[in-house]
Chains A and B, each alone.
Chain A
Amino acid sequence: AQSVTQLDSQVPVFEEAPVELRCNYSSSVSVYLFWYVQYPNQGLQLLLKYLSGSTLVKGINGFEAEFNKSQTSFHLRKPSVHISDTAEYFCAVSTRDMRFGAGTRLTVKP
């Protein structure tokens, strides 16, 4: 069975600083990995996905993630965050169905 672990439940950061949200996965088969963002009282929006190919994946809103098979990681990064990036971020793994990590609350402070 596949699963994901998000290593930080909360990440506070100042505006314009870089940020990394960490995600580790486990699976006995090939996986597809995703990062979703959820703003308050809204559904989930896809930031980026890794299906195959290049291990560096670029997404929307300036986010990127790197798939590392040897470390079973898929960390999300942004070089300079904005106040509007404050939200809940979910890492997800998919084979038969999609399973989410516990989420990381990113709070960007002025």
Chain B
Amino acid sequence: DTEVTQTPKHLVMGMTNKKSLKCEQHMGHRAMYWYKQKAKKPPELMFVYSYEKLSINESVPSRFSPECPNSSLLNLHLHALQPEDSALYLCASSREGGFATEAFFGQGTRLTVV
């Protein structure tokens, strides 16, 4: 199994809603990542978890709250988002942190904030 599974595939939420994005991998990887990708732009790193601990937060606004319940799961909790937060949110994992080996990406969640 070399898949990273993200749910949901599409999400539309209002600015007062609370929602969560989910990511799961069963490759035994110990590093997991959230990226944000706007249209026609490269992915931008948001958070890195290494061995279930937050190791990198790229100055992401607090309305995005990551959580790593165990080594296979990664969540991104969303609250009070703005329309400019609409984007494709990508989850990735790698065997170890530091990306010395390849990262495997999920298909992404297309988020629209209305």
Contact = CB atoms under 8 A, between A and B. Distances in A.
Nearest to B99: A94
Interface residues on B, range: 20 to 34
Given A98-B45, A100-B42, A44 B99 contact: no
Contacts of B107: 42-43
A97 B56 contact: yes
Interface string A1-37: 0000000000000000000000000000000101010
A44 B43 CA distance: 9
A94 B48 CA distance: 13
Interface in A83-102: 90, 94-102
Contacts of B106: 43
Interface of B: 4, 6, 33, 40-43, 45, 48, 56, 88, 90, 92, 98-108, 110
Interface of A: 32, 34, 36, 41-46, 49, 51, 90, 94-103
Given A41-B88, A41-B108, A42-B107, 15 more contacts: A36-B105, A42-B108, A43-B4, A43-B6, A43-B106, A44-B105, A46-B104, A95-B99, A96-B98, A97-B99, A98-B99, A98-B103, A100-B43, A101-B42, A102-B42
